[in-house]
Structure 1
Amino acid sequence: MNPTPKIFLMLLGATLIFHTALNYMIDNIEEFETVPLPPKKIKKISTNNPTIQVNAKIKDSWSLVNFSSGKTHSVADNKAREKAFQEISWDLGFSRTKIITNGGATNPQGKTGVINLGPVDFDKVSKAPRKGYVEDKISFGSLINKELSDWYNYRTRTHNIESKKNVYVVKLKNNRFMKMRILNYYCGKKDEECRTMMCSRQQAACLTVEYVLAKNGTEQFPQNIAGSNLAHNIDSSTNLN
């Protein structure tokens, strides 16, 4: 028996089924588009200290953070930035993985500097050093602070970022001191989860920064902040647009 007619009928039937399904989807495309995605699983990062989450997703823009007030300003990375750096009250600026300070080559009027203490116990840093603070410089046409430039590890296999969780002491422009460390770089995932899988660009540059400000006029960092109303858990899946 010649199998050709049987094969032809099978292909014809499959074609009819395909077109029927396609026509149904076209007629009901709005229903498919409005079906909500399942909610993201929320992962918590616990800390006993104040935190701030910084949206640094825009490559050609700086998110300038004032840690005393908790306010953030977005400034385009263009010729007008110099004026904005001088007029806005800010401490650190973030753009993707880059971090600058309100001092040195970035803004000589700011006087902000940084010391990298390395991966020490954050809560055991009780006093700010009196000297040794490094200000921003220009390197190959870009603003850079060498104390902050290597705050992360870059994984070549997955092309993802993981914070070294170093502790930094920052001397602010008003002679106030702050200690800080970057807890996480992603929204919705912990840095260590990206070691074996590629985390998306949309999830990146959503930095969670832990910080403690010294008491005004002193170099001492307050202890036992866990009992204050500033201590909280960070919802690392917060959507920052």
Structure 2
Amino acid sequence: MRKLHLPMGIAALTVAALLTSCSKKDDQAAPQKPTIVSTTAVNIDADVANKGSFTLYSLADNKVVPNSDSATSKWDIGFRATTIIVNGGVSGPGNATAQVMSGVYNDLTVAPETGYIADAAATKAIGAWYTYNMDTHIISPTAGKFIVLKTAAGKYAKLEVTSYYKDAPVPPVATSVSRYYHFRYVLQADGTRNFK
């Protein structure tokens, strides 16, 4: 009888070892968040009510940030009428800086190393992004101009304003409701300057 128990014991241990060594699908690592995020924002209210406050926006979270958080690093960029601010310099406590670039938005695959500035009292880091037509009174994003910035958290992003009007009419007319930003952006979440 003893001889029968020994082989069965070895067989049971072998089966147990095989079962515990097999991996389960549930044990697989969770998918990683992408490091390059491409997003479009629509109808971002840029002080339509003319209250004098900026609409603050977080590129990492892709959402409007309450003005009660204006003294934090929770936001990257702000909009009021045609003025765009960054969370740095005189506009906020963050380290955001920016520059307006000339060229084709899709062609920029690596953010520049230099050229970024913070908002100052006399000038904002982001200027000259639009063209005003004196005849039609239409504000249009200037073709071939886009923004490259370092966010409040030090990440790189490129952003192109695509419309200044509610629901982005093509073309906008004098009766189109203004102060509604539409823009697309790419955020490099890993801190490198690469957009591809």
TM-score (norm 1): 0.59
Query: Separation in 2 of the partners of 1:207 and 1:187?
Result: 7
Query: Separation in 2 of the partners of 1:138 and 1:199?
Result: 33
Query: Separation in 2 of the partners of 1:189 and 1:65?
Result: 19
1:219 maps to which of 173, 193, 196: 193
Match of 2:117? 134
8 A contact 1:62–1:74 mirrored in 2: no
Query: Separation in 1 of the partners of 2:101 and 2:110?
Result: 12
Match of 1:199? 175
Shift of 1:158: 1.9
Match of 2:49? 58
1:105 is aligned to 2:81: no
TM-score (norm 2): 0.72
Structure 2 runs not aligned, ≥5 long: 1-37
Greater strand fraction, Structure 1 or Structure 2: 2
1:156 is aligned to 2:134: yes
Q: 1:125–1:85: structure 2 CA closer, same or farther, 3 Å change rule?
A: same
8 A contact 1:97–1:205 mirrored in 2: yes
Match of 1:117? 101
* 1:58-97 correspondence runs (5 A): 58-59=49-50, 60-75=52-67, 84-87=69-72, 89-97=74-82
Match of 1:170? 149
Aligned to 1:206, the other structure's residue is in SS state: strand
8 A contact 1:61–1:74 mirrored in 2: no
Structure 1 runs not aligned, ≥5 long: 1-48, 76-80, 223-241
Query: Separation in 2 of the partners of 1:62 and 1:184?
Result: 18
Amino acid at match of 1:218: T
8 A contact 2:109–2:195 mirrored in 1: yes
Pairwise CA RMSD: 1.9
Query: Separation in 1 of the partners of 2:189 and 2:73?
Result: 23
Shift of 1:88: 5.5
Structure 1 segments (4+ residues) deviating >4 Å: none
Cα deviation code 1:80-100 (max 9, x no counterpart): x7xx42235000000111110
* 1:33-52 correspondence runs (5 A): 49-52=38-41
Shift of 1:168: 1.3
Query: Separation in 1 of the partners of 2:167 and 2:87?
Result: 30
Percent of paired sites with the same residue: 25
Q: 1:122–1:157: structure 2 CA closer, same or farther, 3 Å change rule?
A: same
Give the total of aligned pairs.
155
Amino acid at match of 1:221: F
Q: 1:150–1:169: structure 2 CA closer, same or farther, 3 Å change rule?
A: same
Shift of 1:189: 4.5
Query: Separation in 1 of the partners of 2:153 and 2:72?
Result: 15
Amino acid at match of 1:55: D
